[in-house]
A and B are shown apart, each in its own frame.
Chain A
Amino acid sequence: MSVWRQLVGQEPAVAVLSAAAAGEGMTHSWLFTGPPGSGRTVAARAFAAALQCESRTGCGECAHCRTVMAGTHADVRFVEPEGLSISVAEMRSLVQTAARRPSTGRWQIVIVADADRLTEGASNALLKAVEEPPARTVFLLCAPSDHPEDVMVTIRSRCRVVTLRTPPADAIARVLIERDGIDEERARWAASVCGGHVGRARRLATDEAARSRRAEVLRIPVSLRRPDDVFAFADLLITAAEADAVAESARRDEAEEAELRIAMGGDGTGRGTAGAKRAAEAAVNQLRKRQKSRATRTQRDSIDLALVDLANFYRDVLVYPTGATLTHPDHEDQIRSAAERWSPESTLRRLEAVLECREALQLNVKPRIAVEAMVTALARG
Chain B
Amino acid sequence: MSAGTSHPPAVHVVLGDEELLVERAVRDTLAAARRVDPAVDLTRLKAADLTAPYLLEMISSTLFSEGRVVVLEAAQSVSEEIGKAILDYAKAPSDGVVLVVLHSNSGGTKAGKALPAALRKAGAQITECAKITKPAEREAFVKAEIRRAGGKIDAAAVTALIDAVGSDLRELAMAASQLVADTGGTVTEEAVRRYHRGKAEVNGFAVAEKVVSGDRAAALESLRWALQIGVPHVLIADAIADAVRTIARVSAAGRGNPYSMAGELGMPPWKIRRAQSQARGWSREALAESMAIVARLNADVKGAAADPEYALERAALEIAAARSNR
Interface residues, chain A, CB within 8 Å of chain B?
A: 226-228, 230-231, 357, 360, 363-366, 368-370, 372-374, 376-377, 379-380
Q: Which of B130-138, B174-182, B298-306 contacts A (4 or more CB under 8 A)?
A: B298-306
Interface string of B274-310 (1 = CB under 8 A from A): 0000000000110110011011101100111000000
Is the pair B299, A228 in contact by a Cβ cutoff of 8 Å? no
Closest 5 CB pairs of A and B: A373-B295, A227-B252, A363-B299, A365-B298, A373-B291
A370-B298 contact in complex given A228-B253, A231-B252, A363-B304, C-beta closer than 8 Å: yes
B288:A376 contact, CB within 8 angstroms: yes
> Within the complex, what minimum Cβ distance (angstroms) separates B77 from chain A?
25
Cβ contact within 8 Å between B238 and A366: yes
A296 to chain B, nearest CB (A): 14
Judge whether B292 and A369 touch: CB under 8 Å. no
**14 sampled A-B residue pairs with Cβ under 8 A:** A227-B251, A227-B284, A228-B252, A228-B253, A231-B249, A360-B296, A363-B303, A364-B303, A365-B295, A365-B299, A365-B302, A369-B241, A373-B292, A376-B287
- Is B248 located at the chain interface by the 8 A CB criterion? yes
B245 contacts A by Cβ under 8 Å: yes
Q: How far is the CA of A227 from the CA of B294 in the complex (A)?
A: 19
Kindly provide the distance from the CB of B164 to the nearest chain A CB, expressed in whole angstroms.
34
Closest approach, in angstroms, between the C-beta of A369 and any C-beta of chain B? 5
Given contacts A366-B241, A372-B245, A376-B248, contact A360 B299 (CB under 8 A): yes
Q: A95 vs B82: C-alpha distance in the bound complex, in angstroms?
A: 64
Taking the closest CB of chain A, its distance from the CB of B245, in whole angstroms, is: 6
A380 to B252, CA, bound (A): 13
Q: Is the CB of A372 within 8 A of B291?
A: yes
Question: Least Cβ distance of B264 to chain A in Å?
Answer: 10
Do residues B298 and A360 form an inter-chain contact, with CB atoms below 8 A?
yes
Chain A residue numbers with a CB within 8 Å of B238 are 366
The residue on B at minimum CB distance from A377 is B292
A369-B295, A374-B295 given; name 19 further pairs at CB < 8 Å: A226-B252, A227-B251, A227-B252, A227-B284, A231-B248, A360-B296, A363-B299, A363-B304, A364-B299, A364-B303, A366-B238, A366-B298, A369-B241, A369-B245, A372-B295, A373-B295, A376-B291, A377-B291, A377-B292
- In whole angstroms, how far apart are the Cα atoms of A377 and B285 in the complex? 10
Total A-B residue contacts, Cβ distance less than 8 Å: 59
Give B residues with C-beta under 8 Å from A.
Answer: 238, 241, 245, 248-249, 251-254, 284-285, 287-288, 291-292, 294-296, 298-299, 302-304
Instruction: Compute how far the CA of A363 lies from the CA of B299 in the bound complex, rounded to whole angstroms.
Output: 6
Give Cα A366–Cα B241 distance, bound, in whole angstroms: 10
**Once bound together, how far apart are the Cα atoms of A374 and B285, in whole Å?**
14
Smallest CB-CB separation from B292: which chain A residue? A373
Decide: B298 and A377 in contact? CB cutoff 8 A: no
In the complex, what residues of B have CB within 8 A of residue A368's CB? 245
Q: How far is the CA of A228 from the CA of B261 in the complex (A)?
A: 13
A230-B287 Cα distance, complex, nearest whole Å: 12
Q: List the A side residues contacting B249 at CB < 8 Å.
A: 231
Across-interface contacts of B288 in A (CB, < 8 A): 376-377, 379-380
In contact, B299 and A376 (Cβ under 8 angstroms): no
Query: In this complex, what residue of A is CB-closest to B245?
Result: A372
- Smallest distance from the beta carbon of B312 to chain A beta carbons, Å? 15
Contact B252 A369 (CB under 8 A): no
**Smallest CB gap from A368: residue in B:** B245
User: A373 to chain B: which residues have CB within 8 Å?
Assistant: 291-292, 294-295
A190 to B294, CA, bound (A): 38
CB <8 Å contact, B295 and A370: yes
B220 to chain A: closest CB distance in Å?
22
Report the separation of the CA atoms of residues A372 and B290 in the bound assembly, to the nearest whole angstrom: 11
A374 to B248, CA, bound (A): 14
Docked complex Cα distance between A372 and B284 (Å)? 14
Cα distance, A226 to B298, chains bound together (Å) = 26
B302 contacts across to A, CB distance below 8 A: 363-365
- Bound-state CA distance A214–B303 (Å) is 33
Q: A324 → chain B, closest Cβ, in Å?
A: 30
In the bound complex, residues from chain A placing their C-beta under 8 Å from that of B298 are 360, 365-366, 369-370
A289 to B241, CA, bound (A): 27
**Chain B residues closer than 8 Å to A372, beta-carbon distance:** 245, 248, 291, 295
- B253: nearest residue on chain A (CB-CB)? A228
A288 to B253, CA, bound (A): 39
Taken together as a complex, chains A and B put the C-alpha atoms of A228 and B72 apart, in Å, by 61
Query: Residues of B contacting A380 with CB < 8 Å?
Result: 285, 288
Residue from A226, A230, A376 in contact with B292 in the complex, judged by beta carbons closer than 8 Å? A376
- In the complex, A81 Cα to B305 Cα: how many Å? 28
Contacts of A230 in B (CB 8 A): 248, 252
Interchain nearest-CB distance for B131 vs A (Å): 32
CB B308 to nearest CB in A, in angstroms, measures: 13
With both beta carbons as reference points, the residue of chain A lying nearest to B295 in the complex is identified as A373
